[in-house]
Chains A and B, each alone.
Chain A
Amino acid sequence: MMNKLRQKILVLYLSNSALDSTVKGWAVYDGTGREAHTTGDTNIAPYKTGLLALQDGWRAIQFPQLIPPYPGHELDTSFLKYEFIFEKIEEQHD
């Protein structure tokens, strides 16, 4: 029997543009359906830094681009700037 492969996504919000900087926020979406994550379900970060996620087998699939601020809005704050996206491919057993 063939096992189905599914993507699991980890999003880490880091303290600066370096992958080895500190995790400030996170989200997990599990395509295998084994885990269900939602807003405010834990106060404990899955990793201390982005690099530690790599070392645990997560593959980085997106780095945030560094975009200069729009003129006149240099001091504005909005979304979190350092959003790194990772994946693992896992088997879905059914």
Chain B
Amino acid sequence: MIEQSNLLDNKQMALFVAKGYLRFDEVIPDDINHAVMAEIDRGIKASPAGTPLSACYPDPSPIGKMLRLPLVAGLIQSLVGPDPLFDHQAVHVRQPNEDSAQPLHADSIIDTRTAFDIQLMYFPHDVPANMGGTLLLPGSQYRRVNESDIARYQNMLGQVQMVCKAGTLLVLHHGIWHCGRQNKTNEKRYMFKVRLNPVVRQLRLWNTDNLVSDVGASKPIFTKETNAIEDVQTILARSEPWFEDASGRLEIVNRVKMWRYISGDDRFDVHYWMTRLENTP
């Protein structure tokens, strides 16, 4: 049983819906980080795709220990619900002194669902800037693209170059654009990734205390008041630096649709974008 306090809260969920990822710095203890590095060197056995996560990584697996930490179990439960399915794992190794980065891509193949998978990316050792951590493009997760069709996009305003300390965790929406950056050091870089599929409808799985006040009521739009309070609407209304003028508005609509899906509130809106279109008296 997962304690309510270990679940994500409303604003963390809104950030995930807006940006397509959440980041938790230095949350995995060092003994697990070291044990995972050793486990990677020995080879981590993967379960068949579609195995319940609870049946994967049995004790004393250090990856299992990491996944069963209350914070990690809580964020998994908040996003994909109880006992999701193990899809696949990958130990990404970036070789020293590479010539180029991995091309920008979204994982798997083009995915038209509203239901979403998550991917955990776990960095068991420090990743300095020249080691080329994962590159993420916040807010790209709802764009319908097929894998590396986007490889041509070398750099985008607002891209996030992962630079972190050991024990840092990312949790990603399956659609987010990303790649492994070029490793310019003499050391190998490791990153452990696991993809999980929900087995329940993703409806209010997080800690929804104070949901009504955190979501907020309809507001005056195009005014100073519109985004004055850091509530769910404000978080979902915030543009990413790479958003184009017009399509950027459609990204806010994509977020509204996702918030409606996970909250069950079919009238939820941000900046009146959808309500106006839904009015056909």
Question: Which residues of A pack against B, CB within 8 Å?
Answer: 11, 13-16, 21, 23-28, 36-43, 45, 75-82
Contact = CB atoms under 8 A, between A and B. Distances in A.
B101 A41 contact: yes
A25 B245 contact: no
Contacts of B52: none
The B interface, classified by DSSP as helix, strand, loop or mixed, is loop
A16 B248 CA distance: 11
Given A25-B156, A40-B179, A42-B155, A79 B150 contact: yes
The A interface, classified by DSSP as helix, strand, loop or mixed, is loop
A27 B244 contact: no
Contact of A24 (B143, B179, B241): B241
Interface string B235-261: 000000111111100110110000000
Given A39-B102, A39-B104, A40-B135, A25 B155 contact: yes
B186 interface: no
A20 to B, nearest CB: 13
Given A24-B244, A38-B100, A43 B155 contact: yes
Contacts of A40: 101, 104, 132, 135, 154-155, 159, 161, 179, 181-182
A25 B254 CA distance: 21
A79 B153 CA distance: 10
A79 B149 contact: yes
